Amino acid sequence: MTVPLLEIEGLAKRYPLKGGRVVRAVDGVDLTLRAGESLGLVGESGCGKSTVARLALRLVPASAGAIRFEGEDIAPLSDAALRPLRRHMQLIFQNPHAALNPRRTVFASVAEPLVVQGAAHGDGRLARVTTLLRQVGLPESFLWRYPHELSGGQKQRVCIARALALEPKLLVLDEPTSALDVSVQAQILEFLQDLRSRFGLTYLFISHNLAVVRQVCDRVAVMYLGRIVEEAPVGAIFTAPRHPYTRALIASVLPPRPSGIPEAPLGGDVPNAAEIPPGCRFAPRCPLRMERCTREDPALTGATHRVACWAATPEEPDHARN
Amino acid sequence: MRADQPLLRVAGLSVRFDTPDGEVRAVDCVDLVVDRGECVGLVGESGSGKSQLALALTGLLAANGRATGSVRLEGRELLGLPERELRAVRGRRIATVFQDPMTALAPHLTIGTQLVETIRAHATVDRATARTQARDWLERVRVPDAATRLRQYPHELSGGLRQRAMIAIALAAGPDLLVADEPTTALDVTIQAQVLRLIADLVQARGLTLMLISHDLGVIGALCRRIVVMYAGTVVEDAVATTLFDRPCHPYTRGLLAAVPDLARPDHRAQPIPGHIPNLLAPPSGCRFHPRCPLAVDRCAQEKPALREVEGRRVACHRAEEALA
């Protein structure tokens, strides 16, 4: 079997607080991304999904764990040693309005990674940026425009062009369409899918929107309070979810049609990451809670459909679905 | 009060903002009637004017904004009322809940103090009675451990609890009309379901009229029997929810519905609407949707379509019949 593009093992990020308490923002995450796939990372605010993205790209240092990019652990590398690898992994942020420098032209923004990495000079640089703009569906006339002259969708395309400048292998997309209107979101989603197949890109797609994830991802990992609680192929996660939290998330989604309100499937709020409950961290809100759940922390187990739950239904044989 | 009089009648309402770049017409000649007891949804993307419309109802526009036209609450004209009289309308007649309770609540006052102030501003009760009523209100909006929460400041509450407290404050004055502008947009989905359930129950129990504003067709579809679709400051379609979702007429409504990814229909690929939302400094002539419309003809660029009755809904489209064919 080939080496996965990205392999994360036992990843943790702890932030100490005054008084000796510790926020466990990411608390033992294992994830594998194979080259060319699109993995969705879903969960509610504060679950740690964006922190996982920043850790994986070494934008913030991990407290523990390994991050293997094409087999090499990048967690202990110095910034200098990391630099040649950075071009292979790029991040797209949620808010394109904040991700572009308002005083720089589109050309200057998109050319920046080429400058930093010393790739392409002079006319070659201009030609490269022009090609990149064309690849994200923007005409050459946009080269000398400023961000305020662009719509939200166009700005996000510029951000994507900039991320593509160094021909990365991995794109981490952190809520890439959440700041956009739905009519524009559909354009960007369509474009991202097309881009992946054209350039053989691998996506780590972070989103709170399950319908979006269902459309663009091959596999989905569900996070709750710093941990992955379920991970499976996209079809299985939505048609046969095994974790009660995943089920509650799916049940909470309001379809775009007259529907009535779902009977609130979960009570209470997500606990504070500085006070993670003992045993299963979901137990205090879990409808299936048993005595064992408040004592023992379930591990993520299974072959292709992994789940961390003492009450989960057994995994169905691999061939039963995609 | 006449029995046949609607609770709210908006006619020819326009909202303009003076900006350094010129005049922005955020709301352009909107007509809208809301009957007592209705749950009406106002849906649209950014720049559709839905929030400015709501703010204009109670004179809450930014300083550079002006509203013209007519807003009548049970026949009484609200536009042009002096601030003192408007203040009595706000809260007691029309209460508004905003997207972000953190900016709508006073950060330096406890939840209890804010509730007590609201209660005493609208009813002659002593402090102790108001305090008891305040706790009752927090319990009514299902805030657990209400007595403790009364003593807490907004920042000590989670997003969901804060929005519940905001709803309690909005309803404490006993309004007839509740305007909820993206009330659950800042909340997580599991909390969103709890808050929507709360709003639905309160609306029913207290006989409120609800105007729910959202960009999210799911939220609108969950709560509203009637839906008004806005685009670039104009109402493009106004229909019963089932009609709107089953047989949308306006090309924008149709485009919007096709653009939303649907978890229950994985085979349906979200279809983009080509182009982008117009700049309201220089909105398109005629029908504001015509540059993006698949059915547009010459007339659409020249003549603004009026809202008219077509097969049981109101729609502003020259080509409504062709759209439904």
Query: Which residues in chain A are contacts of B46 at CB distance < 8 A?
Result: 181
**Mean pLDDT confidence for A87-114:** 92
Query: Which residues in chain A are contacts of B20 at CB distance < 8 A?
Result: none
A-B contacts (CB, under 8 Å): 129
Q: How much of chain A, in percent, has pLDDT values that exceed 90? A: 74
C-alpha–C-alpha distance, residues A214 and A210, integer Å: 6
Hey, is B38 helix, strand or coil? coil
A246 with B170: CB under 8 angstroms? no
**Mean pLDDT confidence for A125-138:** 92
Report the candidate in B33, B5, B28 with the shortest Cα–Cα distance to residue B15: B28
- Across the interface, whether the CB atoms of B259 and A183 are under 8 A apart is answered yes
List pLDDT tens digits, range B250-290: 999 999 999 999 998 888 889 999 888 888 889 999 999 99
Q: What are phi and psi of B154, to 5 degrees?
A: -50, -40
C-alpha–C-alpha distance, residues B38 and A62, integer Å: 53
- Across the interface, whether the CB atoms of A254 and B262 are under 8 A apart is answered no
In which residue ranges of chain B is pLDDT below 50? Answer: none
Closest-approach residue (CA) in chain B for A253: B189
pLDDT surpassing 60 at residue A314: yes
| All structural domains of chain B with their residue ranges | 247-261+276-325
Hey, is B97 helix, strand or coil? strand
C-alpha–C-alpha distance, residues A151 and A144, integer Å: 15
Looking at the DSSP assignment, which residues form a beta bridge with residue B95? B178
Hey, is B88 helix, strand or coil? helix
Report the candidate in A209, A269, A47 with the shortest Cα–Cα distance to residue B191: A269
User: Which among B160, B215, B221 has the least Cβ separation from residue A259?
Assistant: B221
CA dihedral sign of residues A115, A120, A123, A125: negative
pLDDT at residue number B75: 94
Going by C-beta distance under 8 Å and a sequence separation of 6 or more, which residues neighbour residue B286?
Answer: B299, B300, B301, B302, B303, B304, B305
Q: Is the ipTM of this complex over 0.90?
A: no
- Across the interface, whether the CB atoms of B222 and A250 are under 8 A apart is answered no
Average pLDDT, chain A: 91
Classify residue B235 by burial, with Cβ atoms within 10 Å: 0-12, 13-18, 19+: buried
Closest-approach residue (CA) in chain A for B264: A255
- Across the interface, whether the CB atoms of B270 and A186 are under 8 A apart is answered yes
**Mean pLDDT confidence for A272-294:** 93
Contact of A260 with chain B, judged by CB distance below 8 Å, is answered with yes
List pLDDT tens digits, range A44-80: 888 999 999 999 999 999 999 999 999 999 999 999 9
Contact of A204 with chain B, judged by CB distance below 8 Å, is answered with no
Query: If interface means Cβ-Cβ distance under 8 Å, which residues of chain B face chain A?
Result: 45-46, 158, 160-161, 188-194, 196-197, 200, 215-219, 221-223, 241-242, 245, 255-264, 266, 269-274, 276-277
C-alpha–C-alpha distance, residues B38 and B34, integer Å: 7
Contact of A178 with chain B, judged by CB distance below 8 Å, is answered with no
User: If you write DSSP's letter for every residue of B120-189 in order, what string do you get?
Assistant: HHHS---HHHHHHHHHHHHHHTT-SSHHHHHTS-GGGS-HHHHHHHHHHHHHHT--SEEEEESTTTTS-H
Query: What Cα–Cα distance (Å) separates residue B260 from each residue in A210, A222, B268?
Result: 12, 22, 9
Q: What are phi and psi of B233, to 5 degrees?
A: 90, 0
This prediction has a pTM of: 0.90
